Amino acid sequence: MNELLDLNDEVRDALGRGAPIVALESTIISHGMPYPRNAETALRVETVVRDAGAVPATIAIIDGRLKAGLSPEQIKLLGERGQAVAKVSRRDVARIVAAGADGATTVSATMLIAAMAGIRVFATGGIGGVHRGAERTMDISADLEELGRTDVAVVCAGAKSILDIPRTLEYLETKGVPVVVYRGDEFPAFYTSSSGLRAELRMDSVDEIAAMLAAKWRLGLAGGAVIANPIPAEFEMPVDTINAAINTALREAEAAGVRGKDVTPFLLARVKDLTGGDSLESNVALVMNNAKLAAELASALVRV
C-alpha cells in the first residue's frame, strides 16, 4: 500500500475481508455534469454498487493525498467546484500530489490508484480512445496505455462515439487487451448499443468473465481488460440524432482549436446541448448499468 494512499473505513474493511469492491472515477463528477446533478449521480452510483453486493470506492486526489473511497462531503465538494478541480490523468498525478492539490481522476489515473489499493474492477461510462483524425494529431487517450499495463478490468459502455472506434479497437489489440462484449454481438458505442463492429469476444455471464480475468492474471499477463456493457435499449439515442450532433461538435471543436484533454469534455458538452439534454440522460443510465455489472463481476472474482 502506497504511503500517499488513503482508504476510507468502508474500503479498508472490505479489503481486509476480501469482499468485492468497485472503483469509480471522479472526473465524471467535476467535469462530466453540472452541479448538483454530478454529485447526486455519483452518490446514486455508489448506492447501485452497494445494492448489487459490492463496496464502492470513488477515487480522487484530495489535498495531495490519493483517495480510494470518498465521503459524501468530499463528493459534494468535487461537484460544487466542478471544472476548477484539475482533471488528472497518469501524467498529472505526481504534480497534483506534490502541490497538495485536489484532482478528479480520469480512467487512467483511476486505474492506477485502484491497482495501488488492490481493487481489480472499475466501472465508468466509456473509455477514451483514438480520436478522429489521430493520424494527423496523434491524439490518443492515455486510457489505452493504462489498459495495456495495469491489472484492472474496466466495465464501460464501450468507447465514446465521438472517437474513432475501429482504430481504438486496433490499438487495444496491439496492447494485448481483451475486449469482452457482455451479452452483445457488436461492440457498443456509448450512446448506442451497436457500432457496426462485430464483437471479437462475447460472454454472457459474469462467472465466465471472472474466470478469464483470473486466468489472465495468474498467467502473469499484465494489463487490464475492457468489459463492454451495451447501454439498455430503452436509453439508447437514435443513431442519426447522435451522429449528427457528434459531427457538428467535431467541426466546432476544430474551428475553436480545442486540443488535448479539453477535447472530450468540449465534445460531450456540445453533444448534450445539441440533443436537448437527451445525451446526458443516456449517459447517467449507462453509468448506472455499468456500476451494477461491475459489482456483479467483482463478486464473481471473489468467488473465483
Active site residue 208: no
Query: Can you read off the three cell numbers belonging to residue 263?
Result: 477535447
Q: How far is CA 137 from the centre of its chain?
A: 23
Q: Cell numbers 457488436 label which residue?
A: 186
Catalytic residue, candidates 67, 76, 160, 216: 160
Hey, what amino acid is at 284?
A: V
What sign results for the dihedral spanned by CA atoms 215, 217, 223, 227? positive
Contact 23, 110 (CB under 8 A): yes
Q: Which of 25, 46, 236, 296 is catalytic?
A: 25
Q: Is 292 a catalytic residue?
A: no
Distances (CA, A) of 94 to 7, 70, 105, 144: 19, 20, 12, 20
- The answer, yes or no, to whether the previous bond of 34 is cis (omega within 30 of 0) is no
Which positions are annotated as active-site residues?
Answer: 25, 160
